Structure 1
Amino acid sequence: MSFAMKSLLSLCLSGVLLLGAGPAATAQRATASPYHTRFAVDGPIILGLGAINATGLYLVQQKSGLSEAESAALDRNDIPKFDRFAAGRYSDRAQLVSDITCYGSLVVAPGLLALNPGVRGKYGQVLGLYVETMAITAALFTMTVGTVYRYRPFLYGPEGGTKRTSKISTNSFFAGHTGHTATATFFAAKVFHDFNPDSPAQPFVWGAAALVPAVVAYSRMEAGKHFLSDNIVGYAIGATAGIVVPQLHKSARRTGYSFTPIQGLNVNGHSYGGLLLAKQL
């Protein structure tokens, strides 16, 4: 797959999200946000996740790399068979592709949401949700990488130079580039979906959201940075965070569920109290 093709795929999300900026989306400018957020709740959550990230980064810095002798002693036969095909791969070009696609998606995916009329009026809220969502993925990533030693695929080949003895050579699990890209693209697709539930662009938006992190995952394997299993875990974590966090913030008006405190007297004169769960049909 050429560099131009991969770059084109990374722009797919851009094009399909812009489809929502047509007449159908224009009619939704006055639509209320489907989400309910509270600074008193979400603010401390973000700060707590930031503290977890800092702890994870500290643990990463405390890791040690392999010596040249230890690196030379690695045996690809010790790798599970479904991951073994990636052992020994190395490509600076593929790493560049993965970097550009990943870091670009972190800015482009949420940025494009501001171009959608349905989202624009609530963009501050959406941006806050995006920060919280990315913080969850980052916290899971840094804590995992900081505590798990798994050697990168390129160590099982002759290339890598000084990277072979660097502490980053033990950071194979899980794939952070893939995880963060999936978080960004699936978050954008989920928000677009919630603000534009009747948009004909829905299949294309979700398709692009799934494709871009897959390109990153492929590039990371070609670069010798991650095995297939590392990418599968990263993809799953990122996609889950990107969808679940906005869903958990859906307002009762949009989900159809509401909780109401109730109290009173029954026919026998006894008092009662509790919560009434209602579902809008």
Structure 2
Amino acid sequence: MRRSGLYLHLSLAALSLTLAPGRARAQLDRADVEAVSQPSAPGSSASGVATAGTTPPSTSAPAGATTPTTTSAPAPSTGPAAATSRDGVDARPEPTGAQPAPGPATSPYPRPTPPAPATISTTSPPPPPEGTPSPEGPAHPARVRWGLDAGITLGAAGTFFILEAWVTPQLPADAPPSMPTLSSPDDKAVGHFRPNAALASDVFLYSSMAAPLIYHGIEAGLRKDKPFGLRYGTDVMIYAETLALNLLITEILKNAIGRPRPLVYVDPDAVDADVREKLLEEQASADSLKSFPSGHASTSFAAAVGGSMLLTLKLARRRPGALAAAWVLSLGAASTAGALRVVAGKHFTSDVIAGAILGSAIGVVVPLAHWRGTLEGAPRRRRRATMQVAPAMSETTRGLVVTGRF
């Protein structure tokens, strides 16, 4: 009888499984617990459904008579609660001892876990350490348009040589004019002629012109992360363009102004005999009327400032000590070349000052005209806003949390 009651509960659970699929698993588990914890009372009879392979006993049938057997289709069973053996006997072991009281029914499906908070960050990556080489950057902080810049350089240089070779000989070489009234410091340049000082000024001039080619070549060779040919070629092109423009502008001003040199006012009898012939030769030449501005001063300062400006674009943030040394040595050599022109009697002091200003201006303007706008090696220190967005989830709260720095 106890088993009959158990089969009845299991059959009802299977029937409810077909009628209510959404609640079938919970009801089946509850029916199983009730059947195990509450055994059937003695004397109760099975009714309604009989399992296959079982024959209820009959007390009224005569001896020797065949007892009819009622067989029904087995009820659909799902899960371990309705498991039966092949002979129709419950295959589960009998419960022994007192069973614990059934707890509250729980869903067999796992409770969904809320997703982890998602974080959205717009924080930019930290800048690279100062001085870190950037192989992905341009080969040079200055940009060169090779066709245009080469045309400007060749055109300026060609025009300069035409003026020097054709226009200068056409200038009048008249008798020395009377010496004008000079103010200080120009009056200190009159009355002497020193060819040796002129030769020394030539040495400093050519040294000033060659120095940028040397130290830019060394710098380009030391940069293993940049192509040497493109980097050094850019330096040479911009530097040559600077010198060519300076020579052309200086030559135009010399021919247009026509100021006599200080040596024109020197008495040949007041100088030594070994330099008298040289003095007379220069006084008679057309070049004696091309004193303003000083070509040695303008060219020396154009080379010094132009070369140092190119070096500044490359070393301002990486090698400030080497950059400072280049500026000091270059300007020192250019100043020495200009001062020796005054000592030699070739120029007035105002000629040298004007030439230094002109050459320095060209030495600054031309490299900056090619500059890309960023010093090489300078870290980008742009302050960017940062923001983080995350969902705020709790038992009673749903929302978003936004944090940031602006």
TM-score (norm 2): 0.52
SS of the residue aligned with 1:33?
Answer: coil
Aligned pair 1:104/2:199, yes or no? Answer: no
Q: Distance in 2 between matches of 1:110 and 1:158?
A: 42
Letter in 2 for 1:164: Q
Q: Work out the percentage of aligned pairs sharing the same amino acid.
A: 23
Q: Which residue of 1 aligns with 2:255?
A: 146
Map 1:95-244; keep pairs closer than 5 Å.
95-116=198-219, 117-118=222-223, 121=228, 122-159=231-268, 160-198=279-317, 199=319, 200-244=321-365
Question: What displacement does 1:226 show?
Answer: 0.4
Q: Which residue of 2 aligns with 1:64?
A: 172
For structure 1, list consecutive stretches of 5 or more residues without a partner in the other structure: 1-23, 257-281
Q: Which residue of 1 aligns with 2:156?
A: 49
Structure ranking higher on relative contact order (CA contacts 8 Å, 6+ apart): 1
Q: Distance in 1 between matches of 2:267 and 2:299?
A: 29
SS of the residue aligned with 2:243?
Answer: helix
SS of the residue aligned with 2:218?
Answer: coil
Q: Contact (CA 8 Å) 1:110, 1:184: kept in 2 or not? A: no
Aligned pair 1:94/2:213, yes or no? Answer: no
Which has a greater percent of helix?
1
Deviates more, 1:38-47 or 1:223-232: 38-47
Question: What displacement does 1:137 show?
Answer: 0.3
Q: Contact (CA 8 Å) 2:314, 2:375: kept in 1 or not? A: no
Q: Contact (CA 8 Å) 2:262, 2:347: kept in 1 or not? A: yes
Deviates more, 1:27-36 or 1:105-114: 27-36
Aligned pair 1:37/2:144, yes or no? Answer: yes
Letter in 1 for 2:178: L
Letter in 2 for 1:108: A
Aligned pair 1:251/2:372, yes or no? Answer: yes
SS of the residue aligned with 2:144?
Answer: coil
1:127-165 CA-partner distances (Å, limit 9, x unpaired):
011111101101111111222211111222224122111
1:81-119 CA-partner distances (Å, limit 9, x unpaired):
431111122101100100111122212332221011248
Q: Contact (CA 8 Å) 1:114, 1:120: kept in 2 or not? A: no
SS of the residue aligned with 2:235?
Answer: helix
Q: Contact (CA 8 Å) 1:83, 1:229: kept in 2 or not? A: yes
Q: Distance in 2 between matches of 1:205 and 1:112?
A: 9
Q: Contact (CA 8 Å) 1:154, 1:225: kept in 2 or not? A: yes
Question: What displacement does 1:48 show?
Answer: 3.1
Question: What displacement does 1:171 show?
Answer: 1.2
Letter in 2 for 1:247: L
TM-score (norm 1): 0.73
The number of aligned residues is 227
Question: What displacement does 1:193 show?
Answer: 1.3
Q: Which residue of 2 aligns with 1:268?
A: none
1:11-46 CA-partner distances (Å, limit 9, x unpaired):
xxxxxxxxxxxxx99x75956310111123212322
Question: What displacement does 1:221 show?
Answer: 0.2
Q: Which runs of 4+ in 1 moved over 3 A?
A: 27-31, 252-256
Q: Distance in 2 between matches of 1:216 and 1:120?
A: 35
Q: Distance in 1 between matches of 2:227 and 2:286?
A: 43
- Determine which structure has more spread, i.e. the larger CA radius of gyration: 2
* Cα RMSD, aligned residues only: 2.5
Q: Distance in 1 between matches of 2:242 and 2:200?
A: 24
Q: Distance in 2 between matches of 1:187 and 1:208?
A: 13
Letter in 1 for 2:157: G
Q: Distance in 2 between matches of 1:167 and 1:39?
A: 37
Q: Contact (CA 8 Å) 1:179, 1:235: kept in 2 or not? A: yes
Letter in 2 for 1:100: V
Letter in 1 for 2:258: Y
